[in-house]
């Protein structure tokens, strides 16, 4: 009980000093990260903090967050933690990622790591889940922008892309994209977490509490549901 009271006092004393801050978070700019950004803006607004977003290439965004050149990351999978130890995970998922295999004009009979190993795949540099899943595969093209990967797929220079479902579905909705297919089931489904640089350690318990309350009340699902 004494420990709990001390924690509550710490939060109450720290909140006024933190209010009025502006945090700059790195993000990739896709549909998934934009949805997560809405969740974070709502959560931080409840503790008097403004969130701004800086769109960056995925790998550069992580490096800048690690160095403290931006304050953190909007959403990432847990696998980044070994490589970026100065980033602190807020242990309430703000979204989830479904990694899907996208093709043009053709469909896969089976979706598995073994099946895609035979394909010439395209992945985005900095998409850690895609980098891990394709590690050691013989024919993988890695580029910093998904738009360039899509161009190669449409030209027939790639067999498939490994991308997140939200981005894939946004591309399929564009005019002239009738050839695109999302092959089911998703290759991977993982939770996404918000990360802060360690210099913002004082914020971690505050934003964790807000996100947990939003998760339990259904507010996070409501915000994400408007974007799906």
Q: What is the model's pLDDT at position 18?
A: 63
CA dist 142 and 127 (Å) reads: 10
**pLDDT attached to residue 16:** 46
Tell me the C-alpha to C-alpha distance, in Å, between residue 221 and each of 72, 101, 215. Answer: 22, 25, 7
Q: Grade residue 8 by pLDDT with cuts at 50, 70 and 90.
A: very low
List pLDDT tens digits, range 27-83. Answer: 988 889 999 999 999 999 999 999 999 999 989 999 999 999 999 999 999 999 999
Cα gap 135→6, rounded to integer Å? 46
| Cβ count near 204 (within 10 Å) | 15
Name the E strands within 20-149: 22-27, 50-55, 72-76, 87-89, 95-104, 121-124, 140-143
Q: Work out the average pLDDT over 218-228.
A: 86
Q: What is the mean pLDDT of residues 77-95?
A: 96
Q: d(Cα 153, Cα 225) in Å, to the nearest integer?
A: 30
pLDDT of residue 20: 82
Domains, the chain, with CATH or none? 2-95+193-225 (3.40.190.10), 97-189 (3.40.190.10)
Mean predicted lDDT score pLDDT of the chain: 91
Do 121 and 158 touch, CB atoms closer than 8 A?
A: yes
Percentage of residues in the chain having pLDDT higher than 70? 90
């Amino acid at each position: 009980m004494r420990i709990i009271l001390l924690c509550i006092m710490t939060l109450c004393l720290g909140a006024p000093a933190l209010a009025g801050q502006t945090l700059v978070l790195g993000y990739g700019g896709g549909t998934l990260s934009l949805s997560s950004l809405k969740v974070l803006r709502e959560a931080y607004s409840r503790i008097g903090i403004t969130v701004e977003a800086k769109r960056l290439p995925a790998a550069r965004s992580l490096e800048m967050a690690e160095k403290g050149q931006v304050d953190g990351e909007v959403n990432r999978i847990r696998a980044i933690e070994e490589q970026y130890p100065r980033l602190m995970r807020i242990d309430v998922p703000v979204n989830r990622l479904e990694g899907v295999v996208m093709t043009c004009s053709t469909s896969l009979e089976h979706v598995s790591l073994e099946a895609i190993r035979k394909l010439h795949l395209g992945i985005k540099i900095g998409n850690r889940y895609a980098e891990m899943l394709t590690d050691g595969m013989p024919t993988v093209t890695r580029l910093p922008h998904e738009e360039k990967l899509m161009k190669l797929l449409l030209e027939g220079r790639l067999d498939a892309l490994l991308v997140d479902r939200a981005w894939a579905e946004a591309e399929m909705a564009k005019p002239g994209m009738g050839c695109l297919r999302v092959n089911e089931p998703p290759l991977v489904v993982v939770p996404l977490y918000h990360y802060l640089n360690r210099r913002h350690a004082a914020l971690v318990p505050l934003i964790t509490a807000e996100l947990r309350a939003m998760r339990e009340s259904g507010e996070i699902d409501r915000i994400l549901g408007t974007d799906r």
